[in-house]
Copies of this chain bind each other. A is one copy, B any other.
Amino acid sequence: MNQGIRNFNFQNPTKILFGKDRIKDIDAEIPKDAKVLVMYGGGSVKRNGAFDRTIKALGEREWDEFGGIEANPTYETLMKAVEKIQQEGFTYLMAIGGGSVIDGTKFVSLAAVFDGDPIDIMGGGVGRQLPVSKAMPFGTVLTLPATASEMNNGFVITFVEKKAKIAYGNPLCFPQFSVLEPELTYTLPKRQLVNGVIDAFVHTMECYLTYPINAKIQDRYAEGILQTLIEIAPTVIDEHNHDYPARANFMWAATNALNGFITPGVPQDWASHMLGHEMTLVHGIDHGRTLSIILPAMMRVRKQQKWDKLIQYGRRVWNLTGADEDIVEGAIEKTEAFFQSLGAPTCFADVELGEECIDELLAGLERHGKVNISERGDFDLVVARRVYETAL
């Protein structure tokens, strides 16, 4: 397993505009003759000024808005945006929001110009996916650091009718640019700040906690993101503490957790995300909160498979010393305690779920083809059941 960095391709063309008062600079990034559809979720972007400042930056460009993109954006909602775009001839999409709005915008950017039925882009959630060859250009204004959707080409869409939450990626789906203003996090409630910290932490862990292949830069980068999140979390989750350096580190850490910088040529897991998606789908648990519940259990159940990396993680991220066994146990306990220190749930009981829900979650995993996942391809429904049970 120590054969070195695997062959990889890396490319991330997204332009980042980071810092204070950057929304005004999108004027230079969008064609002057663009007809822009501004995409957002609830009304928070109107209350915090992000919407108005974006409209102002659009200047003389023709624009309209499409709001109401929900957390865990649905195919059904997004297709209304597709219809509007096709009827009214928009040429550019401008997402303002967190991962859900940006993810939804990515799907719309493909669906609005797809030659065929857009349900087939992601296989309708359960079927064969048809190839796509073009996408509308889009930019983003990020309001919630968490998913890194602002600087990657992936997205997750929920198909309500099919009861499926499906991840998808395509090189056409990098934002052309993303505005990262740390001050936009000042109006976030604690729960969303906590969810963001956990999402970024677990993204990093999914890319890191596998088995060592001697990819030193990738490992150090991942450890640096984890250390950063641990250091800044107490300050960041205090919603009333508008500490700019901490919020800036939070925003850049969350972007770096899933923009591809830590993953070139290394194995990845993503089993925790898959198990979490089913909990969101069936029980509406926040994505971040599913991860703080699943990851510690995943670490316990997959301890042997992740042994070497757990030791490295315990030593470098948590500064643990001693016997290997103690470091491994300590690393798991430290991780769980970190989530608890944020006020996040770390077991089913914390979100008032019990053993009776596991069969349905497993049935969903099976229906969505989420078997044989994880870095070793040895993660089946038997293992999934053990993880859910360990998380009770």
Q: Could you say which of A55-63, A108-116, A249-257 contacts chain B? A: A249-257
When distances are taken between beta carbons in the complex, the residues of chain B under 8 Å from A244 are 3-4
Which residues of chain A from 241 to 273 have any CB-CB distance to chain B below 8 Å in the complex?
244-246, 248-249, 252-253, 256, 261, 264-265
* Given contacts A220-B220, A220-B223, A252-B264, A7 and B18 within 8 Å (CB-CB): yes
The yes or no answer to A338 lying at the interface (CB within 8 A) is no
Q: Contact mask A63-98 → B, CB, 8 Å, 1/0?
A: 000000000000000000000000000000000000
Is the Cβ of A5 less than 8 Å from the Cβ of B224? no
* With known contacts A214-B245, A216-B228, A217-B224, A16–B5 Cβ distance under 8 A: no
Is the beta-carbon distance between A13 and B13 smaller than 8 angstroms?
yes
Indicate whether A186 reaches chain B with its CB closer than 8 angstroms. Answer: no
Q: Does A14 contact B (CB under 8 A)?
A: yes
User: Do B256 and A5 touch across chains, with their CB atoms under 8 A apart?
Assistant: no
From the candidates B10, B182, B217, name the one contacting A16 in the complex (CB within 8 A): B10
Contact check, B9 vs A15: say whether CB atoms are below 8 A apart. yes
At the interface, yes or no: A20 with Cβ under 8 Å from chain B?
A: yes
Partner of A7, one of B22, B213, B214, B245: B22
A182→B7 CA distance, assembly (Å): 10
| A372 sits at the interface (CB 8 A) | no
Q: Which of B11, B22, B224 contacts A13 (CB 8 A)?
A: B11
A223 contact set on B, CB distance < 8 A: 220, 224
A6 contact set on B, CB distance < 8 A: 19
Q: Using Cβ atoms and an 8 Å threshold, which residues of chain B touch A22?
A: 7
A249 to B9, CA, bound (A): 15
Any B CB within 8 A of the CB of A141: no
- With beta carbons under 8 angstroms apart, the residue of B16, B224, B248 that contacts A221 is B224
A219-B248 Cα distance, complex, nearest whole Å: 14
Smallest CB separation, A2 vs chain B (Å): 7
Q: Which of B2, B9, B19, B221 contacts A18, CB < 8 Å? A: B9
Which residues on the B side are within 8 Å of A245 (C-beta)?
2-5, 213-214
Taking the complex as formed, is A231 at the interface, i.e. its CB lies under 8 A from any CB of chain B?
yes
Q: Which residue of B lies closest to A245 (CB)?
A: B4
Instruction: Judge if A373 is at the interface, Cβ distance under 8 Å.
Output: no
Give 30 A-B contacts (CB < 8 Å), ordered by A residue: A4-B182, A4-B246, A4-B249, A5-B18, A5-B19, A5-B245, A6-B19, A7-B18, A7-B19, A7-B20, A8-B18, A8-B19, A9-B15, A10-B15, A11-B14, A11-B15, A11-B16, A12-B12, A214-B245, A214-B249, A215-B252, A216-B228, A216-B249, A217-B225, A217-B252, A217-B256, A220-B227, A221-B221, A223-B224, A261-B261
The list of the 4 closest CB pairs from A to B, nearest first, reads: A220-B224, A7-B19, A4-B245, A11-B15
Instruction: Taking A5-B245, A11-B16, A224-B224 as given, write out 18 further A-B residue pairs in contact, using a Cβ cutoff of 8 Å, ordered by the A residue number.
Output: A2-B245, A7-B19, A8-B16, A9-B17, A10-B16, A10-B18, A12-B12, A18-B264, A213-B245, A216-B224, A216-B228, A217-B225, A220-B220, A220-B221, A220-B225, A220-B227, A223-B224, A252-B264
